[in-house]
Amino acid sequence: MARVRNWQIGREMSYWYPEARPERQFAAVFDTNKCISCQTCTVACKTTWTSGKGQEYMLWNNVETKPYGFYPLGWDLQLLEKLGGQSWKDGRYEGSTLFEAAAAGERVLGWRPEEIDYAHPNVGEDDCAGPPIETGADLELPHDRWFFYLARICNHCTYPACLASCPRASIYKRPEDGIVLIDQGRCRGYQECVKACPYKKVFFNPMTGTSEKCIACFPKFEMGLQPQCFVNCIGKIRFAGHVSTPENARADNPIDYLVHVRKVALPLYPQFGLEPNVYYVPPIHVPRRFLHQMFGPGVDAAIETYRGAADDANLAGLFCLFGATERVVPRWKRSGDTVIGMEEDGTEIVRVPLREPVFVRQAFDATHRVTRTNTP
Amino acid sequence: MRPDGITRRQFLEAASALGFGAFVASATSAWGLDAIENPLARYPDRGWEDAYRDLWKYDSKFTFLCAPNDTHNCILNAYVRSGVITRIGPTMRYGEATDLEGNRASHRWDPRVCQKGLALTRRFYGDRRLRHCMVRAGFKKWVESGFPRGTDGRPPQELFDRARDEWVRATHEEAAAIVAAALENIATTYSGEAGQRLLRAQGYQDEVVAATKGAGTQTLKFRGGMPLLGMTRVFGMYRLANSMALLDAKVRGVSADQALGARGFDNYSWHTDLPPGHPMVTGQQTVEFDLNAVEHCRTLVVWGMNWITTKMPDAHWLTEARLKGTRIVVIACEYSATSSKADDAIVVRPGTTPALALGLAHVVMRDRLYDADYVRRWTDLPILVRLDTLKYLRAADVFGGEAAALANQTRVLAAGEKAPPPGRQDEMLIPTALRTEWGDYVWWDDTAGAPRPLTRDQVGARSAVGNPRLEGAVTVTLRDGRTVRCRPVFDLVREYAAHFDPKTVEEMTWAPAAAVERLARDIAAHPGTTLFAIGMGPNQFFNNDNKDRDIFLLAALTGNVGKVSGNVGSYAGNYRVALFNGVPQYINENPFDLELDPAKPARPKQYWRAESAHYYNHEHHVLRVGNRLLTGQGHIPTPSKSMWFANANSILGNVKWHYNTVVNVLPTIEMIAVNEWWWSTSCEWADVVFAVDSWAELKHPDISASVTNPFITVFPETPLRRVFDTRGDIEVLALVGQALAERTGDARFRDCWKFVDERRVDVYLQRIIDASACVAGYDFNDLHAKAKEGVPALLENRTYPKSVGYEQVTDSRPWYTKSGRLEFYRDEDEFIEAGENLPVHREPIDSTFYEPNVIVAPPHEALRPKGPRDYGVPESDLSCETRQGRNVVKTWAETKATRHPLAADGYRFVFHTPKYRHGAHTMPIDTDMIAMLFGPFGDIYRHDKRMPFVAEGYVDMNPADARELGVEDGDYVWIDSDPSDRPFRGWQKNARDYKFSRLLCRARYYPGTPRGITRMWFNMYGATPGSVEGQASRADGLAKNPRTNYQAMFRSGSHQSATRGWLKPTWMTDSLVRKELFGQQLGKGFLPDVHCPTGAPRESIVKITKAEPGGLEGVGLWRPAKLGLRPGYETEGMKRYLAGELAGGGDGKEKA
């Protein structure tokens, strides 16, 4: 075991390999407040990568309704129970990570789902928590009956549990972008990674005898394009790019701006200790305790910041840039009511208005000799 | 050739045969256990990564338009490899759409796509694709043996064993010849006196038979489903219907002047998408706004609309508006998906929307919070109503004289004067007879203490209404010296609405009184800044016109009609064909006088007649209660002896009251022909199925537009080779035209489709464009070229976003009503008789715990409906048919003491069937990748072999309700509705058909629905005789027809087992004044998709009975419940998880 620095838990921790950060780290921001659980991301991924035999049940990208939705069944509940009560103090995680909580002889605290646990990938869809509705209701924020949608891909963690657990060292992190891959030639299907990944984003393929996972669409990412589940996201909740470590954060990097500068996007179960690289804007209508459990101590500040976006053109503007282009947008700026996405060198990629304009045409179009009406 | 010696072809074969992983494993050189010190830092051989790069590659791409009836119209990229579409994606180029002036949309419109479009890859090549035309064996025999008939004209029953019969392959030419022969035979059989005699012998009502006027062609029904979704290929069905006048001319030997075409079924109203109260208030079809308008409002009220599941590509406008400060209020009969995006989520009882709107309006009127200026300028609220006749007080009766001359953007058409074509009508056109019929109105000037005349010119800035009497009665002296007591509409409505105080409204609607008070005050505090987005939910109840009138009342009182930032929108269906109001150039081209020069416009003459399909759905009955005919003369249907439709499963397969329709209506129809590319429920029940191109294979381009976005979208001609033996929809029409030409010797049947044969449909499209007010100026070929690049164009409406009513408010242009104002009082006889001269609340007609269809009202001097006794019907007759015309008034106190007539028999659950995210109607939910994600029971491996498919239908129940019935989460249950007519009339004596008709489904514990309210999604394919047979006979146990591959998602029945057709008198008047479908001219009475029945498919009260345990193979609990992960079954750990107790994330300080 090595000692490594995990900024998300505010301390050093134990990990199977020494710290070695990639040159740039693939990362994403998901705004749960915009997610509509349409599953377009899921199907975009599935039609692109997992339509083969043995992959039928596999959803590298899935969207589940929290709190009753799980894919596979009970994935986070199981682990949280195994890990036991945990606590934070002043942004520092006081409990054990999965690496630290592993039993003697194990590298990671984990569990392996049964095949049938994957059977109902949308169990819990739109099921709400809180007391069941009796007759009418009037719910203001936060809602006391609630659910929200959690879209999930591989977190391409800085400290992947899958990578740590692989006895053949067939899982690696690409130095150029931090994407975590399973070498399909070398993997022998021991499924230690399936057991170790707390997010259950590694899947065993019984037809090939290997384990497979989300590849962050690296063939696209290498071309400067966002992955399939991002480009097809019609809720426009997703933004792909690179995240820096906190000390290297740049405000003109959209991901850094949201993660480090505004701290409005938070890691999923940071207490697991993997330093996951998909960052979530927490849902503003959900009781805080549940969110603390899931996204850590930054929840209150993140929600406060997000709810202030109405008077914060930078924040609102950047969220309006989500989904506006297939290209990865490494830099951004706002100019008045326009938000501009740019390449590293400042070349413009796309620009969008903060508010879609209203155009009013002449009632009588003299050029075409016709009346332009809204009631034709 | 790849470096490892594998060709792309070998790759594809390997990848498709074994799955990707197997290929990679075999193609990558395995290497030994090299020492890998730190895979975080370095990995020795990454050559294998090329396998994924290769999988990503494609040979070419092209665009096609995905346009089910969901209003989104997404031009998509299809990626092709080795000639096969391997994946689909958004073009990301909607942000390049411009109009003729250079205005441009932004990239915030991108991406436009959804999971259903992406899954088409598995559908274009799926096993239910029509590979060739199919003809039912018995039908073929009937045709080939010369159409034998019994003495009453009926064909031999044994040849009509639909949905169980064998199928025979046919070429398109053969199928077209069969259809042409049948059309001619049916038209001939039912023409003339002999034909009418046969129809009477078959039991049709006299007025229904008389409506054919002796023309057999009038019994031929055609329907292009949602024709806005294909102006030539879908709307072509109506062009074909028009050309049936040629057939009538031959069959009856009549001249071109006397010939009658066929009948065409309605669409928007048939789908219960039309909000029928919109024309009652505004005089035109529907008010709505493009969804990007929410960028500009302060409050958005999403009312009975599951926006984020049914307007998916435009959901971001809602969430982004919220982010920028718009308050989102969601009113729903559950804690819905969209409720989870609300700042204020209000849960109500289904079917009580009119009451809730009245309650909100009451608060505004009670506390005088209304926008008085708007009320004076834009509404009929100041207009006086006579209490003797309950009619509006007419200016002529007070002041004498003729109806005023009209000059405000209005022209009165002299008798016999021909109006310009619809797309060239600038002023509002009123036929002089209509104008003289209603004259002018009167308001009471409180300053002068005198009545004042009011013309329909005087609206908006031209309004002369200064200080009107709004509250209290006045006595007006008429010109003849008599006096009459009058009250302003405002006063009548105010008195009525006072019955709906917040506390009463809470009892009626379940919306907490405090929420009613608060919401009313919030809306009124900032007039003109609230957008009301009203969904399909409230519209699918019998009181849907009441709902519209009451919501408009609230909106008008708060200045929220006709402004970009304040308006009412109704969201259901993509319907406004008038966006191409030059379409008569195509559908109504005179078949006797065809224009064959591509450069010249056509000369339209309409020979076909429109009809509401609700009468077909209602066993061809009009509504008669006791001694009273309640269907207006203009609405009367004819018998349907042939039905041919395209682009829809909704007219048969997923029809309301489906099982009654297939058991009791279909046997009376002699030919059912369907154009399809996917074997739907409709195909199961058809006689002839034409195999047509999917969107990916269209060889004839077409055009569409939308009511929720500003885009003109072209269906491009695609380079993809036809996968199977299919033809374009429009080619099928041309083939039948050709076959008719051959049969009749009349070449005009063929000439009608000349430009199809020449692959020049652009001629028809350009004619339409040139004649259409909102697209004139565009060149079709330019639009087509852009669409091939993935770029749409912008509609040339007055505004972007479209916002109906903008011209009214901005230009002070009168509404399309008699008064030129938003009308809340209806003084036509039909409305007075129904007790709906006021905008009342009726209880739902079936989905209620109380006496159905009661008018909830206090004693009110303006409510004098005709009750059951007036019609010669006992007061106690609550049968479904009589109930429709039952005008019984009760106060809320009286109403709440009543019970639904079936309550004592255990029918105590409201059962409603809304639409959901996983399907656009039924498309494409029987695709594995989509189905597995549809709800909690999806399971791609079908561990439980009872499952009809990899997913199945389910009912959502409040857990406490389920427990009372002994139903566990995941159990199978039977659902039964009113046994008098559901699932079909006569089921008690028809076990054969009952077997596939009775609804059997899973039950889910769903804590978000109130007690007594159950929900089943609308989108799943229902059981057919073949699916039930398949489940019993197939080794895999799939509910799949062994003969057709039809795949049901129910073991038996469907969500339509519990619905039925409903006819409401106020939908069927002869007197309602409304704008014509195309252009600016006013008319009155029946108008398809504007004023005609809508049905009420969310009306159903049911009994639920446990059928089988939900555990694997019927043993014990369904597994997720057994594991304690389901609502009501939580383990201790799950309870702690829900409470957030498994990690103290918040520094130990717990907050809200």
Q: Which residues contact B12 (CB under 8 A, 6 or more apart)?
A: B81, B82
CA distance B272 to chain A (A): 21
Calpha distance B653→B919 (Å, rounded): 15
Closest CA in chain B for residue A88: B1147
Among residues B903, B590, B878, B605, the alpha carbon closest in space to that of B748 is found at B590
Calpha distance B822→B1053 (Å, rounded): 44
CA distance A144 to chain B (A): 10
Calpha distance B50→A219 (Å, rounded): 9
Calpha distance B906→B942 (Å, rounded): 33
Task: Give the mean pLDDT per block of 10 residues along chain B (1152 residues).
Answer: 44 45 42 72 95 97 95 97 97 98 98 98 95 98 98 98 98 98 98 98 97 98 96 98 98 97 98 98 98 98 98 98 98 98 98 98 98 98 98 97 96 95 97 94 98 98 97 98 98 98 98 98 98 98 98 98 98 96 98 98 98 97 96 98 96 96 98 98 98 97 98 98 97 98 98 98 98 98 98 98 98 98 98 98 98 98 97 97 98 98 98 96 93 97 97 98 98 98 98 98 98 97 98 97 98 97 98 98 98 98 98 97 98 96 59 36
Q: Look at residue A225 in the predicted model and tell me its pLDDT.
A: 98
Among residues B369, B1103, B470, B1129, the alpha carbon closest in space to that of B824 is found at B470
Chain B residues within an 8 Å CB radius of A232: 89-90, 111, 113, 118
Calpha distance B369→B32 (Å, rounded): 81
Q: How many CB atoms lie within 10 A of CB A149?
A: 27
Q: Is B608 helix (H, G, I), strand (E, B) or coil?
A: coil
Which of the four pLDDT bands, split at 50, 70 and 90, describes residue A1? confident
Nearest Cβ partner for A173 among B39, B918, B1151: B39
Chain B residues within an 8 Å CB radius of A43: 115, 118-119, 929-930, 933
Nearest Cβ partner for B1125 among A70, A128, A131: A70
Beta bridge partners of B44: none
End-to-end CA distance of chain A: 73
CA distance B105 to chain A (A): 8
Q: Look at residue B23 in the predicted model and tell me its pLDDT.
A: 41
Pick from A138, A258, A325 the residue to mutate for testing the B interface (most B CBs within 10 Å): A138
Chain A residues within an 8 Å CB radius of B578: 376
Q: The tokens 């890859």 sit on which residue?
A: B121
Q: Is B27 helix (H, G, I), strand (E, B) or coil?
A: helix
Closest CA in chain B for residue A310: B324
Decide if B1144 and A130 are in contact by the 8 Å CB cutoff: no
Chain A residues within an 8 Å CB radius of B917: 36-39
Q: Look at residue B27 in the predicted model and tell me its pLDDT.
A: 39
Chain B residues within an 8 Å CB radius of A360: 798-799
CA distance A9 to chain B (A): 11
Decide if A175 and B776 are in contact by the 8 Å CB cutoff: no
Q: Which residues contact B381 (CB under 8 A, 6 or more apart)?
A: B375, B470, B488, B489, B490, B493, B556, B824
Calpha distance A153→A31 (Å, rounded): 14
Closest CA in chain B for residue A25: B40
Closest CA in chain B for residue A312: B324
pTM for this prediction: 0.97
A317 — phi, psi (to 5°)? -65, -45
Calpha distance B213→B218 (Å, rounded): 8
Q: The tokens 């740039």 sit on which residue?
A: A24
Calpha distance B640→B220 (Å, rounded): 6
Chain A residues within an 8 Å CB radius of B106: 324, 352-353, 356
Chain A residues within an 8 Å CB radius of B803: 374
- Cα torsion B173, B179, B185, B186 to 10°: value is -170
Amino acid at B719: P
Q: Annotate B649-708 with DSSP letters as a single string.
A: STTTTT-TTHHHIIIIIGGG-SEEEEEESB--HHHHT-SEEEEB--GGG-SS-EEEE-SS
Calpha distance B297→A341 (Å, rounded): 27
Residues in chain B: 1152
Pick from B340, B343, B505, B806 the residue to mutate for testing the A interface (most A CBs within 10 Å): B340
Calpha distance A279→A268 (Å, rounded): 7
Q: Look at residue A120 in the predicted model and tell me its pLDDT.
A: 98
Pairing of strands B428-431, B410-413: parallel
Pick from B40, B336, B944, B1077 the residue to mutate for testing the A interface (most A CBs within 10 Å): B40
Pick from B108, B508, B567 the residue to mutate for testing the A interface (most A CBs within 10 Å): B108
Alpha helices, H only, B725-804: 729-744, 748-751, 754-757, 761-770, 780-788
Decide if A90 and B1147 are in contact by the 8 Å CB cutoff: yes
- Tens digits of residue pLDDT in A62-121: 999 999 999 999 999 999 999 987 899 999 999 999 999 999 999 999 999 999 999 999
Among residues B707, B796, B713, the alpha carbon closest in space to that of B94 is found at B713
For residue B746, what are its two tokens? Answer: 């009349």
Which H helix or E strand runs over A11? strand A11-15
Chain B residues within an 8 Å CB radius of A49: 20, 52, 55
Chain A residues within an 8 Å CB radius of B1140: 287-293
CA–CA–CA angle A8, A13, A19 (5° rounding): 85
Q: Would you say the C-alpha torsion B367, B371, B373, B375 has a positive or negative sign? A: negative
Decide if A289 and B319 are in contact by the 8 Å CB cutoff: no
Task: Specify whether the CB–CB gap between A20 and B41 falls below 8 A.
Answer: yes
For residue B97, what are its two tokens? Answer: 């759409």
Amino acid at B1026: G
* Statement: residue A327 has pLDDT above 90: yes
CA distance B254 to chain A (A): 36
Calpha distance A129→B154 (Å, rounded): 58
Closest CA in chain A for residue B49: A183
Nearest Cβ partner for A359 among B40, B424, B799: B799
CA distance A148 to chain B (A): 7
Calpha distance B226→A77 (Å, rounded): 47
> Can you say whether residue B649 is alpha, beta or left, with left for phi > 0 and alpha for psi between -120 and 50 degrees?
alpha
- Tens digits of residue pLDDT in A336-358: 999 999 999 999 999 999 999 99
For residue B329, what are its two tokens? Answer: 């209020």
A104 — phi, psi (to 5°)? -60, 135
What's the order of all strands across the beta sheet hosting B74-81?
B60-66, B74-81, B84-90
Q: Would you say the C-alpha torsion B1114, B1115, B1116, B1119 has a positive or negative sign? A: negative
Nearest Cβ partner for A139 among B323, B345, B509: B345
* Statement: residue A335 has pLDDT above 70: yes
Q: Look at residue B34 in the predicted model and tell me its pLDDT.
A: 54
Rg (CA), chain A: 22
Q: Look at residue B1144 in the predicted model and tell me its pLDDT.
A: 62
Decide if B31 and A185 are in contact by the 8 Å CB cutoff: yes
Q: Which residues contact B264 (CB under 8 A, 6 or more apart)?
A: B221, B222, B223, B224, B237, B238, B241, B608, B609, B610, B611, B1088
Decide if B55 and A49 are in contact by the 8 Å CB cutoff: yes
Q: Is B1107 helix (H, G, I), strand (E, B) or coil?
A: strand
Decide if A358 and B564 are in contact by the 8 Å CB cutoff: yes
